[in-house]
């Protein structure tokens, strides 16, 4: 399944000698060019660092400035990159989904793009929440890029079903504890 997901992102992730383009990457670059020309600052998430590496090349060719962060980025450098981006330096922040899921405050962004879907919608929401932090002054737009008629579309459908299930069990304003019966709460303390 991983290989099917990678080929949706860019055939070069699947075929080592691939020299052609990618409709999804081309669409992303059009979206980024429009966003940057309109003054937007973008967080761009992918779970594949190999895809982020391809996007670095695309951004450099398009003369779009960017920061890059993945799981190998040391904590001091992470802080420096975050502060730099929030101060207005660079137009795009490329972030691996796992590295960007927690601990970052990126209120310098007003646009979030998920390049590829992840199985758990909560992970994507946590990543998008990097822009929805205390101090955010702008409306934040969130985009999900889904390749039509592929495994990505099926993952997106599964995400929606998971969200519906969560909403059916826990409604806004409720949490897990408020949904528990007295017997369930008592059972927590039974030894």
Any idea where the domains of the chain sit in the sequence? 21-145, 149-191
Residue 170: its pLDDT value, please?
63
Ranges 6-15, 53-62, 70-79, 181-190: which has the least confidence: 181-190
Residue 160: its pLDDT value, please?
84
Confirm if 140 and 108 have CB atoms less than 8 A apart.
no
Residue 177: its pLDDT value, please?
57
Which residue do the tokens 């979206």 mark? 31
In tens, the pLDDT along 31-67 reads 999 999 999 999 999 999 999 999 999 999 999 999 9
Q: Can you list the alpha helix ranges (DSSP code H) found in 62-101?
A: 75-86
Residue 109: its pLDDT value, please?
92
Taking CA atoms, 70 is separated from 74, 96, 128, 186, in Å, by 9, 5, 16, 43
Cβ count within 10 A of residue 190: 5
Residue 166: its pLDDT value, please?
73
Q: Which CATH architecture group holds 21-145?
A: 3-Layer(aba) Sandwich (3.40)
């Amino acid at each position: 399944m991983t290989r099917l997901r990678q080929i949706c992102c860019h055939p070069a992730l699947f075929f080592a000698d691939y020299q052609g383009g990618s409709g999804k990457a081309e669409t992303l670059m059009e979206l980024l060019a429009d966003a940057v020309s309109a003054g937007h600052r973008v967080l761009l998430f992918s779970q594949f660092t190999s895809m982020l590496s391809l996007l670095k090349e695309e951004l450099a060719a398009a003369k779009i400035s960017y920061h890059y962060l993945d799981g190998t980025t040391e904590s001091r450098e992470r802080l420096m990159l975050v502060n730099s981006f929030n101060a207005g330096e660079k137009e795009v922040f490329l972030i691996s989904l796992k590295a960007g899921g927690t601990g970052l405050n990126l209120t310098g962004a007003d646009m979030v793009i998920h390049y590829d879907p992840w199985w758990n919608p909560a992970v994507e929401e946590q990543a998008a929440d990097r822009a929805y932090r205390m101090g955010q002054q702008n409306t934040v737009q969130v985009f999900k890029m889904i390749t039509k008629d592929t495994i990505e579309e099926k993952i997106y459908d599964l995400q929606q079903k998971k969200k519906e299930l969560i909403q059916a069990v826990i409604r806004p304003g409720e949490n897990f504890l408020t949904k528990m019966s007295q017997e369930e709460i008592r059972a927590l303390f039974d030894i």
